Chain A
């Protein structure tokens, strides 16, 4: 059963990879990247169950923490062209 769920997640990741390659805007690619990150977490957990190695869950937690940071970093870089930009209270550049 875990194998079937892992296959479904893999198929979903294939769709997400298509969206990441097809675009058309950079935000579609960021959305697909975020989706792939979540899929990787679930795949890690499922592989941990399939191979009976619960250590994979720790890696899953790490990926979950990194996923949001990566997404926000790409979005911030795209908006300001600079990761050290402070922005004002409303998040506008000027």
Chain B
């Protein structure tokens, strides 16, 4: 009885984990820039891997296998944020900027920081649209 329950719970966890893992991988392909892709990859590394390993643990029962799976899960949960953080910091250091909605028409993220852009818009005489339109006419997006 308990074994059947453990098997059913394990299957459910495995299914949910596989689904989350796939969703994160699809996000890895579909998302528009590096930082959103890292955000999508985080789903796979936490929810996906966690649920998959939890499902395997539930199926295996209490044994050495469960302990090893717990070790793997702990290593993944500790190192994945470190890797993500280092990646984001290295990308920012190299000059990659997050693509923001206001800048999507202008191509890849370059040019002034969004807050500076906002301040410039507020100060612009045409009240908002002027700065962006002028930049687009000049082709200064990149």
Interface of A with B (CB < 8 Å)?
Answer: 1-2, 4-5, 8-9, 11-13, 15-16, 18-19, 25, 27-28, 30-32, 34-35, 38-39, 41-42, 45-46, 49, 54, 57-58, 60-61, 64-65, 67-68, 71-72, 75, 78-79, 91-92
Contact = CB atoms under 8 A, between A and B. Distances in A.
A5 B21 CA distance: 9
A45 B94 contact: no
B72 A60 contact: yes
A67 B79 contact: yes
Contacts of A67: 79, 83
Give the dominant DSSP class at B's interface: helix
B103 to A, nearest CB: 17
Nearest to A18: B29
Given A5-B52, A38-B80, A31 B89 contact: no
B65 A42 contact: no
Nearest to B17: A5
B41 A31 contact: yes
16 contacts: A4-B14, A4-B15, A9-B18, A12-B21, A28-B34, A34-B80, A34-B83, A35-B41, A38-B44, A45-B53, A49-B56, A61-B72, A64-B76, A64-B79, A71-B86, A79-B90
Interface in B14-55: 14-15, 17-19, 21-22, 24-26, 28-29, 34, 37-38, 41, 44-45, 48-49, 52-53, 55
Nearest to B26: A15
A41 B38 CA distance: 19
B68 interface: yes
B71 interface: yes
Contacts of B21: 8-9, 12, 39, 42
B26 A68 contact: no
